Amino acid sequence: MTDMNWLAIAPEIVLLALACVVALVDLWVTDPRRTPTYWLTQAGLAVVALLHLLACERGETVYAMQRMVVADPMGHLLGVCAALATMVTLAYARPYAEGRDMLKGELFTLSLFSLLGIFVMLSANNFLVIYLGLEMMSLSLYALTALRRDHPPATEAAMKYFVLGALASGFLLYGLSMMYGATGSLEVGEVFKAIGTGQINKAVLILGVVFVVSGLAFKIGAVPFHMWIPDVYQGAPTAATLLIAGAPKLAAFAITMRLLVDGMLGLAVDWQQMLVVLSVASLAVGNLAAIAQTNLKRMLGYSTIGQMGFMLLGLCSGVVNGNTLSAANAYSSSMFYVVTYVLTTLGTFGIVMLLARQGVEAELLDDYKGLARRSPWYAFVMAVFMFSLAGIPPTVGFAAKLAVLQALVSTNVPGLITLAVVAVLLSLVAAFYYLRVVKLMFFDEPQDQTPLSAGGDVRVLLSANGAAVLLFGLLPGGLMTWCAQAIVKSLGS
């Protein structure tokens, strides 16, 4: 189906209207806690998530807006996850922002525009639409990083993020312009067909792919394009850090799939080699550098680099010896990995914001000493998140890592099996710094004896978040099947 189908972009239209309404309504809100703005935002996000869910259930692939947009099950499933991630982030961020002069209408409006950029990327079928979505998301996140104008570290982080983000966009645009020059089309499907003819200058294509992969690696945070992640994670207010660390990772996965798999599968031999280098470098640098950190947010920044390296591993095994028999398994394992990673990250930064309530940032590892004495429940929940990031059963992180490794090993290619072994060894390194946090919480003397207090909604959400990490770890089948079906249907279209 292809026409001016407004239904295909219904979630984006609703979200745009919501962002405008929230911006206007907030002008008349006098409540310092921004209660009307907050609940209007949450209700609107729930509606948007529901729209994506209903579309995902239908399982159709619809092309719209002169084939510039594609509404397919993969985009819808990631859209549900992105909307839910933004809802959870804002719930965790509200008490944190209140004590730091950040609880303004801009926090909600910019979060919504950032999500709108993510949605545009999820449904893009055209190079220009992908770029528009990317810029909308990025510009909103730059502003959110600098939301505490009186806070020098936040301003510095925003500057670094902006300069390196602009550089990354330049890389990506240059690569896309070369792909357009070589194939004569901006539409992802047409590029795929043009590459399939085999009559295009290979040198121009490869150069284009190098720049596209470099631009994507910047956005994902893969080595050697990772320089901004630790600095931005540490300097940004924790609420903004979570908005950068959560839903945008889903969008980065989606545009990687759109560009490399949907558009350039004919060049898989070339870009898979690049992804192998990026993933191994990310696993090594991310996990080894994290060991030396004393700042938890910075440590989680390096951990993200390692985690994204693991996610890229799944994309390395889609095309083996020229056939795509293992594609669905490989790409769905990567999708499962990125969705579960976002789920765990939400909870981890939720705990960081919970501890940071008393006007101090709880971002040093020493702040977590003896947390089990002050609040056994939150210490247990944080331990679950750390175990999941380390990939220890029965958490969902273990199921995700197992899925990616199984995708590599099942190809029976010696090189990919070696890659799986390297990934396991580097994951063992990662276990050290995750388990160090658990050791500090349960076995060290607390520096601060005050018991933790949290609002009812945050308490319930954090507990549910921890339960979800355990539940999907014990019963990963349902979510894995959803990811597999979404990828199969999307590839089939």
Domain boundaries, the chain: 2-492
What pLDDT, on the 0 to 100 scale, is given for residue 1? 46
What pLDDT, on the 0 to 100 scale, is given for residue 216? 93
Cα(103)–Cα(126) distance, integer angstroms: 36
Bond from prior residue into 95 cis (ω within 30 degrees of 0)? no
Residue 233 · residue 245 · CB < 8 Å: yes
Residue 315 · residue 331 · CB < 8 Å: yes
Cα(429)–Cα(83) distance, integer angstroms: 33
Cα(397)–Cα(470) distance, integer angstroms: 9
User: Token pair for residue 35?
Assistant: 């209660």
Cα(140)–Cα(116) distance, integer angstroms: 10
Q: Please state, in angstroms and as integers, the Cα–Cα distance from residue 159 to each residue in 137, 228, 252, following that order.
A: 16, 10, 21
- In three-state secondary structure terms, 295 is strand
DSSP string, 9-25: GHHHHHHHHHHHHHHHH
CA triple 290-364-102, angle to 5 deg: 110
What pLDDT, on the 0 to 100 scale, is given for residue 215? 94
DSSP string, 40-75: HHHHHHHHHHHHHHHHHHHT--EEETTTTEEE-HHH
User: Token pair for residue 367?
Assistant: 């702040």
- Bridge partners, residue 187, by sequence: 126
In order along its 493 residues, the chain shows pLDDT tens digits of 445 578 889 999 999 999 999 999 999 988 888 899 999 999 999 999 999 999 999 888 999 988 999 999 999 999 999 999 999 999 999 999 988 888 888 999 999 999 999 999 999 999 999 999 999 999 999 999 999 888 899 999 999 999 999 999 999 999 999 999 999 899 999 999 999 888 888 889 999 999 999 999 999 999 888 989 999 999 999 999 999 999 999 999 999 999 999 989 888 888 999 999 999 999 999 999 999 999 999 999 999 999 999 999 999 988 887 787 888 999 999 999 999 999 999 999 999 999 886 667 888 898 899 999 888 999 999 999 999 999 999 999 999 999 999 999 998 889 999 999 999 999 999 999 999 999 999 998 887 777 777 778 889 999 999 999 999 999 999 999 999 999 998 887 6
Q: Which of 407, 269, 411, 335 is nearest to 56 (CA)?
A: 335
What pLDDT, on the 0 to 100 scale, is given for residue 2? 47
Looking at residue 258, what DSSP letter applies? I
Residue indicated by tokens 């004569």:
184
Phi, psi of 474 (to 5 degrees): -75, -35
Cα(5)–Cα(481) distance, integer angstroms: 29
Looking at residue 266, what DSSP letter applies? G
